[in-house]
């Protein structure tokens, strides 16, 4: 035993002491444990010899008191103090509550979520979604239904700072306007819904429809696909090549299609597109068989709005035009679908031939969506030899814009060859029709094709500036064709009144209910969000495993470093020498025992 005692006690003590004496990185706990083991080593050695290796329970004594890290229990979360309700929200709730008490109890309570400015407002700039909101209001008003209209203010629509939440009661509705932040993220919308307790929610255009879905709380939701979002994404991606222009639109479509109870589109072509999207995301199933989910609600006129102003635009304002000027009007923003090169070339060539032709441009960039098209147009105007006959007026108040529509001889709109144009419609075309203003356009959309066939518009070849110029010169040279075109434009407009276009919406609101496949707990096997959620869980698990792998690799590398440093120490080499010496000294004895079997 003297040699065994020497090897099992003295030299381990020396080795342990050599290890503990070094400053290992992040090893306070290990050093503490080794020091504790060192203090107990004599007793451990005694027990080890007494047990003769038959019991390993003695190993537990190597854990000194205090060597186990203290586990800190997480503190219980403290409930965040509820933010006080803003005064303008409280005021809006009070006004809505008072207004609701005066409504007919026999009529359904309806909330429309849309955008503003609305067409009747004296705004800096009107946008198509605002017209869509007003179309739905007028349609419901025809049945005696007075909706609560919650409107998101469009950027660039109003002058001055945001006034917060304001309420306006008109004959056909109660209108609450608010900022985009309040509309999409604040508590104003949920509080107003709680005040009114509506029977159903109606979205007017895509983003407000998405907000309606998030606050529906089990109520039926009418989703308005006001133009195909994915076709709009393509148009934007074609304009802006950098970054991902598609995923956000795809997610928006998935949210709308999976959660809507009824859908409106602007054309028959888009209806078929929407059915494809519904099928792809699992909504064309056994429960919806025979059930009409998608309805065409074409863009509508504004309902007899006064489009004239006192005085003649050629005699007032910053632009003075000759009385015999042939006025071509571009009214509205320059969006991603605008064919700026064709417009510039067509106007330039037409002005070289028709010396009395003037172009008046109202509108401008679409803030936050498309600034480049407007910038490209302004650069082409600066380079034009006929710039003195191109009048850039920018965004105009509603009535002043109406005066220029009244003064114009023909409108013009140039469109790229895009599915967005093929599937969509045009609010500015509808307004021109309502005012009896014929226009020049491509025949890509259903509306433009109808107007050209009915003689309310004049067509040109898409992307061909020379074709556009020829059409403008022909109309300018024979103005007698305009009288008949004006009359036919008004006839087409009569078919686009709000009451004529909103029939499907009005019928649904009268008996609003959830879609058949949205009642019950049956899962949608093709749900984008269910698949996305599963993929997200897998991705999170993969990231967790990758982090664990990186942690283990770091620990392994650290352990290898520790072992390498230990093996290179004097104490370890000394220990190795003694192990080798023991093997040499005991070799004859082990050899003898091996031969004798014992």
In this prediction, residue 540 carries a pLDDT of 83
511-538 tens-digit pLDDT: 999 999 988 777 777 777 677 777 778 8
**Domain assignment present for 306:** no
User: 186: buried, middle or exposed (CB in 10 Å: 19+, 13-18, 0-12)?
Assistant: middle
Distance of CA 61 to the CA centre of its chain: 61
Those residues with Cβ within 8 angstroms of residue 544's Cβ, 6 or more apart along the chain or in another chain:
none
Same domain, 440 and 368: yes
Same domain, 112 and 60: no
**Whether 433 contacts 496, CB under 8 Å:** yes
In this prediction, residue 325 carries a pLDDT of 94
In this prediction, residue 61 carries a pLDDT of 41
Rounded to an integer, what distance in angstroms lies between the CA atom of residue 203 and that of residue 213?
Answer: 9
Same domain, 251 and 350: no
In this prediction, residue 545 carries a pLDDT of 87
User: 228: buried, middle or exposed (CB in 10 Å: 19+, 13-18, 0-12)?
Assistant: buried
301-347 tens-digit pLDDT: 987 544 333 334 444 445 778 888 999 999 988 988 999 999 999 99
**Strand arrangement of the beta sheet that strand 439-441 belongs to:** 390-394, 357-362, 326-330, 410-412, 439-441, 457-459
The DSSP code for 370 is B
**CATH number of domain containing 331:** 3.40.50.2000
Strands in 286-340 per DSSP E:
294-296, 326-330
Same domain, 331 and 362: yes
Same domain, 24 and 113: no
Cross-strand pairs, 550: none
Rounded to an integer, what distance in angstroms lies between the CA atom of residue 426 and that of residue 154?
Answer: 18
In this prediction, residue 366 carries a pLDDT of 80
**Whether 475 contacts 482, CB under 8 Å:** yes
**Whether 228 contacts 269, CB under 8 Å:** no
Same domain, 442 and 374: yes
Please say which residue of 436, 469, 496 terminates a domain.
496
**Domain assignment present for 103:** yes
**Domain assignment present for 539:** no
SS3 48: helix
Rounded to an integer, what distance in angstroms lies between the CA atom of residue 220 and that of residue 209?
Answer: 12
Distance of CA 581 to the CA centre of its chain: 76
**Domain assignment present for 358:** yes
Same domain, 331 and 477: yes
In this prediction, residue 441 carries a pLDDT of 96
SS3 415: strand
Range of the domain at 214: 87-300+503-533
Those residues with Cβ within 8 angstroms of residue 260's Cβ, 6 or more apart along the chain or in another chain:
209, 213, 221, 222, 223, 293, 515
**Whether 447 contacts 298, CB under 8 Å:** yes
Enter the tokens of residue 70.
């203290």
Same domain, 513 and 483: no
Per the structure, the count of domains in the chain is 3
For residue 465, whether the previous peptide bond is cis, meaning omega lies within 30 degrees of 0, is no
**Whether 147 contacts 100, CB under 8 Å:** no
Rounded to an integer, what distance in angstroms lies between the CA atom of residue 91 and that of residue 173?
Answer: 17
Enter the tokens of residue 102.
């005066």
Longest dimension (CA), the chain: 131
Rounded to an integer, what distance in angstroms lies between the CA atom of residue 177 and that of residue 183?
Answer: 9
In this prediction, residue 58 carries a pLDDT of 39
Enter the tokens of residue 518.
């949205």
Q: DSSP string of 259-274?
A: H-SEEEESSHHHHHHH
**Domain assignment present for 587:** yes
Phi, psi dihedrals of residue 65, rounded to the nearest 5°: -60, 135
Phi, psi dihedrals of residue 86, rounded to the nearest 5°: -65, 150
pTM: 0.74
**Domain assignment present for 77:** no
Same domain, 337 and 415: yes
Same domain, 140 and 119: yes
Enter the tokens of residue 172.
């056909």
Residue 24 CB-half CA count within 13 A:
21
Please say which residue of 512, 533, 554 terminates a domain.
533
**Whether 488 contacts 450, CB under 8 Å:** no
Among 68, 18, 57, 16, smallest CA distance to 39 is for 16
**Domain assignment present for 305:** no
Same domain, 133 and 247: yes
Angle at 19 between CA 15 and CA 25, to 5 degrees: 165
Same domain, 379 and 266: no
In this prediction, residue 35 carries a pLDDT of 62
* pLDDT tens, N- to C-terminus, the chain (598 residues): 455 555 555 556 555 555 555 555 555 555 565 666 556 556 555 554 554 444 444 344 444 444 443 334 445 455 556 678 889 999 999 999 999 988 878 889 999 999 999 998 888 788 899 999 999 999 999 999 999 999 999 988 888 888 899 999 999 999 999 999 999 998 999 999 999 999 999 999 999 999 999 999 999 999 999 999 999 999 988 888 777 778 899 999 999 999 999 999 999 999 999 999 999 999 999 999 999 999 999 999 987 544 333 334 444 445 778 888 999 999 988 988 999 999 999 999 999 999 999 999 998 888 777 888 999 999 999 999 999 999 999 888 878 888 999 999 999 999 999 999 999 999 999 999 999 999 999 999 999 999 999 999 999 999 999 999 999 999 998 888 999 999 999 999 999 999 999 999 999 999 999 999 988 777 777 777 677 777 778 888 888 888 888 888 888 888 888 787 777 777 777 877 877 887 888 877 777 777 666 5
* Look-up of token digits 């096997």: 525
Classify strands 410-412 and 166-169 as parallel, antiparallel or unpaired: unpaired
**Domain assignment present for 73:** no
Among 364, 362, 361, 356, smallest CA distance to 321 is for 356
Distance of CA 544 to the CA centre of its chain: 28
Residue 65 CA: distances (Å) to CA of 26, 70, 84, 374: 20, 12, 52, 76
């Amino acid at each position: 035993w003297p040699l065994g005692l020497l090897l099992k006690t003295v030299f381990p003590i020396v080795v342990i002491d050599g290890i503990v004496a070094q400053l290992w990185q992040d090893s306070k706990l290990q050093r503490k444990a080794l020091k504790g083991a060192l203090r107990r080593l004599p007793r451990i050695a005694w027990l080890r010899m007494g047990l003769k290796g038959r019991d390993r329970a003695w190993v537990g004594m190597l854990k000194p008191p205090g060597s186990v890290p203290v586990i800190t229990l997480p503190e219980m979360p403290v409930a965040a103090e509820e933010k006080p309700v803003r005064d303008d929200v409280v005021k809006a709730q009070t006004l809505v509550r008072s207004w609701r008490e005066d409504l007919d109890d026999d009529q359904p309570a309806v909330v429309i979520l849309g955008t503003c400015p609305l067409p009747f407002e004296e705004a800096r700039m009107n946008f198509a979604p605002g017209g869509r909101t007003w179309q739905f209001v007028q349609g419901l008003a025809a049945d005696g239904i007075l909706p609560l209209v919650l409107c998101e203010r469009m950027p660039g629509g109003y002058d001055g700072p945001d006034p917060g939440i304001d309420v306006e009661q008109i004959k056909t509705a109660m209108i609450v306007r608010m900022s985009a932040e309040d509309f999409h993220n604040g508590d104003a919308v949920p509080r107003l819904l709680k005040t009114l307790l509506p029977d159903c929610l109606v979205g007017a255009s895509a983003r407000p429809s998405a907000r309606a879905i998030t606050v529906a709380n089990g109520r039926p939701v009418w989703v308005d696909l006001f133009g195909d979002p994915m076709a709009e994404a393509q148009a934007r991606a074609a304009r802006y090549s950098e970054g991902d222009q598609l995923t956000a639109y795809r997610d928006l479509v998935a949210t709308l299609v999976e959660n809507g109870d009824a859908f409106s589109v602007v054309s028959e072509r888009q209806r078929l597109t929407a059915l494809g999207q519904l099928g792809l995301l699992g909504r064309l199933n056994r429960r919806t068989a025979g059930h009409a989910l998608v309805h065409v609600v074409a863009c509508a006129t504004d309902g007899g709005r006064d489009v004239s102003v006192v005085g003649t635009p050629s005699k007032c304002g910053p632009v003075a035009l000759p009385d015999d000027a042939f006025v071509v009007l571009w009214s509205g923003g320059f969006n991603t679908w605008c064919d700026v090169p064709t417009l510039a070339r067509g106007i330039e060539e037409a002005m070289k031939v028709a010396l009395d032709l003037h172009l008046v441009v109202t509108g401008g960039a679409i803030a936050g969506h498309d600034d480049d098209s407007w910038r490209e147009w302004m650069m082409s105007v600066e380079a034009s030899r006929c710039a003195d006959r191109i009048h850039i007026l920018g965004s105009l108040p509603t009535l002043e814009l109406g005066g220029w529509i009244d003064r114009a001889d023909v409108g013009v709109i140039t469109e790229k060859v895009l599915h967005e144009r093929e599937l969509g419609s045009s609010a500015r075309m509808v307004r021109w029709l309502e005012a009896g203003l014929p226009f020049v356009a491509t025949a890509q959309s259903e509306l433009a094709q109808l107007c050209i066939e009915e003689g309310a518009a004049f067509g040109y070849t898409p992307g061909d500036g020379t074709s556009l110029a020829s059409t403008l010169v022909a109309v300018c040279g024979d103005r007698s064709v305009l009288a008949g075109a004006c009359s036919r434009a008004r006839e087409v407009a009569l078919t686009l009144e709000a009451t004529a276009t909103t029939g499907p919406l009005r019928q649904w609101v009268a008996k609003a209910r959830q879609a058949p496949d949205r009642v019950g707990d049956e899962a949608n096997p093709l749900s984008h969000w269910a698949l996305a959620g599963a993929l997200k869980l897998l991705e999170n698990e993969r990231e967790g495993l990758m982090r664990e792998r990186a942690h283990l690799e770091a620990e392994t590398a650290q352990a290898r470093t520790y072992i390498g440093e230990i093996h290179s120490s004097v104490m370890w080499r000394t220990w190795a020498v003694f192990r080798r010496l023991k093997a040499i000294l005991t070799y004859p004895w082990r050899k003898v025992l091996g031969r004798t079997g014992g």
